């Protein structure tokens, strides 16, 4: 299947499937060369941002074993964000 990036952005190839196989986290690059982390439920075509493009080097998404968090690398640090959305945390206790 195809994961389409939001309008005006390009998919950079970083993808992680949730442990239950129902969601996909992926990284896209906008027109200003900033990366952001997005999430798609596989039973829907809608996508939503998890980690904003304020962090220039968002990459390498991965899931916590329980599927509650999405981890990623940004500007040389490992971070996490709730899969339901919210603020990213700098500590990586998954």
CA geometry: angle 30, 35, 39, nearest 5 deg: 95
How far, in Å, CA of 12 to CA of 21, rounded? 21
Q: Are 43 and 30 in contact (CB under 8 A)?
A: no
In this prediction the pTM is 0.82
- pLDDT single digits (tens) 21-65: 999 999 988 878 788 899 999 898 888 888 765 656 788 999 999
How far, in Å, CA of 74 to CA of 78, rounded? 6
Burial class (CB in 10 A: 0-12, 13-18, 19+), 51: buried
Please state, for a pLDDT cut of 90, what percent of the chain lies above it. Answer: 29
């Amino acid at each position: 299947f195809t994961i389409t990036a939001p309008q005006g952005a390009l998919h950079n190839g970083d993808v992680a499937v949730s442990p239950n196989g129902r969601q996909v986290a992926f990284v896209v690059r906008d027109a200003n060369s900033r990366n952001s982390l997005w999430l798609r439920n596989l039973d829907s075509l809608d996508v939503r941002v998890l980690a904003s493009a304020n962090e220039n080097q968002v990459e390498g998404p991965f899931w916590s074993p329980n599927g509650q968090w999405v981890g990623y690398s940004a500007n040389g640090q490992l971070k996490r964000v709730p899969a339901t959305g919210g603020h990213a945390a700098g500590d990586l206790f998954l």
